[in-house]
Amino acid sequence: MKDMMIDGTRKTPQVDFRVSGDLKIEGRSFVVDPRMFFEPLFEWIKELDSDHIHLDVRFDYINTGSTKLMNEFIKLIDANPKIPTKTITWYYEEDDEDMLEIGQVLEENTLSTQFFFKEMDMAS
């Protein structure tokens, strides 16, 4: 298994997944067919065998279709019995209540993954 790196575009987020379990997704996600983008991420996370996962999520914008696939991705992390420690840090800009709420809804669908919410100031 190798690290996974995907450059971000105007419509897709940057992905930086390390076999160490340190994962990052950041940018914008509003592709027409988000399954095409997320499917390789699903396959990668299913194969990961690490003592932990820590996922940093920093979306500027995420559409409804991408939110549904992000929910599936987080459920795959949460359900992985090979990985004992799972944490997600969900970043959102100050006053962006919608992005905070999306993270809170995704957190509600997890059983064994700990969520942290970090507000960023607009300059970050």
Cβ(116)–Cβ(90) below 8 Å: yes
- % of the chain beyond a pLDDT of 90: 87
Tell me how far apart the alpha carbons of residues 60 and 8 are, in angstroms, rounded to a whole number. 12
Q: Map residue 12 onto helix, strand or coil.
A: coil
Q: What structural domains does the chain harbor?
A: 4-120 (3.30.750)
Gyration radius from the chain CA atoms? 14
What pLDDT, in 10s, does the model give residues 93-111? 988 899 999 999 999 989 9
Q: Map residue 42 onto helix, strand or coil.
A: helix
- Average pLDDT, stretch 61-73? 95
pTM for the predicted model, two decimal places: 0.91
